[in-house]
Amino acid sequence: MEAIQIKGIKKSFGETKAVDGVDLTVESGEIFSLLGPNGAGKSTTISMICGLLTPDEGDAAIDGHSIRKETVAAQKVLGVVPQDIALYQDLSARQNLMFWGRMVGLKDGLLKQRVDEVLALIELTDRQHDECGKYSGGMKRRLNIGVALLHQPRVLILDEPTVGIDPQSRRKILDSVTLLRDQGTTILYTTHYMEEAQELSDRIAIMDEGKIIACGTQSELVQLVGEQDHIRLIVDRVDEQYMQQIRKKVNGSVITTDHEHTIEVVGPNANAILPGLISLSLEGDVKISSVEIQEANLEMVFLHLTGKALRDE
Ligand SMILES: Nc1ncnc2c1ncn2[C@@H]1O[C@H](COP(=O)(O)OP(=O)(O)O)[C@@H](O)[C@H]1O
Ligand SMILES: [Mg+2]
């Protein structure tokens, strides 16, 4: 059964078509990632699924409840972890959870039990009495996730929960997301980190400029680039003329992800392309310090479909 079904949702802000006709189905019990660069429309999509923003067109159903027509029933099923942290900084983790727990109707023994369970899951039991204002960014994010879990939602939505936090907290968040899925929770997870989508997801939708440009399992998505190879060159300088010449030689995409030292080439048969790249570098006086041939990954799928890099470094 579908946990989330999105049909034809659209949202514009003035001239910006933030979400431009999205259809998606998240199956019950899976981790589904929405992968896309900054500005793709991920958060706007999430806000409409949660009923925080009204779509210009279309609708979303959570466990069969229309978010437009049966908002309360739909929201009951949902736990949402927004991109921005919503916590009382001068309260402890425990006090925050007790407060939010009461807000969702928990009380007495059950409230205490859920707060203890959630603290254990987000691994903050030993810091539960410290003021949140003193927590690291990663601990605050974990507590934010904890708040969304108090009422044991069947469907959990996390919007870029690991941006800007320490690797240890990131690891804990990824592990608890997998654990929740294994316990039966359906997860919709947005990210612009390819590695996270690859590690976590049962299925992935790639989003760009308000549209879903591909959707499937990782291996289905990687097949979209077909038999193409991915070559990464590290050079002493990224020279536009050099890039132009490679483009003429390679029947594929050529981009730079950092405008300084990295050139990415996607094309058929790396072994046939490489000698050309090297002789062009000699002609153009560009020094290559490293050549790497990589297996197809989601970064490459994005590059193949859009001609752009997914990463924002
Ligand atoms: N409240 C808003 N007002 C105006 N423009 C917005 C608003 N929210 C989002 N946008 C624009 O809509 C587009 C999609 O944004 P968003 O959904 O936040 O993308 P993502 O979460 O994938 O980074 C961007 O161009 C963004 O600037
Ligand atoms: Mg966002």
Quote the tokens at residue 8.
């034809």
Does the pLDDT value for residue 141 go beyond 80? yes
Q: What's domain 227-295's architecture?
A: 2-Layer Sandwich (3.30)
Band the pLDDT of 289: cuts 50, 70, 90: very high
Cα 292 to ligand 2 centre (Å)? 32
CA-to-CA separations, 39 to 17, 43, 264, in angstroms, rounded = 11, 9, 22
Q: Which atom of ligand 1 approaches the CA of 83 most closely?
A: 21
Band the pLDDT of 230: cuts 50, 70, 90: confident
Which of 313, 28, 310 shows the shortest CA–CA distance to 196? 310
pLDDT value for 226:
80
pLDDT value for 210:
98
Residues with CB under 6 A from ligand 1: 13, 16, 18, 36, 38-44
Does the pLDDT value for residue 313 go beyond 70? no
Residue scoring higher pLDDT (208 or 307): 208
Superfamily in which the 2-222 domain is placed by CATH: P-loop containing nucleotide triphosphate hydrolases (3.40.50.300)
Q: What percent of the chain has pLDDT over 70?
A: 99
What mean pLDDT do residues 157-184 have?
94
Cα 310 to ligand 2 centre (Å)? 14
Which of 146, 145, 158, 122 shows the shortest CA–CA distance to 31? 158
CA separation for the pair 5, 62 (Å, rounded): 7
Q: What percent of the chain has pLDDT over 90?
A: 77
Band the pLDDT of 59: cuts 50, 70, 90: very high
Segments of the chain assigned E as strands: 2-13, 16-27, 31-35, 57-62, 65-66, 78-81, 155-159, 186-191, 203-208, 211-216, 228-235, 253-255, 262-268, 288-294
pLDDT value for 312:
57
What mean pLDDT do residues 33-48 have?
97
Q: Where do runs of H (alpha helix) occur along 54-184?
A: 71-77, 93-103, 108-121, 137-149, 167-182
What mean pLDDT do residues 220-227 have?
87
- Where, residue-wise, is CATH 3.30.70.100 in the chain? 227-295
- Where, residue-wise, is CATH 3.40.50.300 in the chain? 2-222
Does the pLDDT value for residue 155 go beyond 90? yes
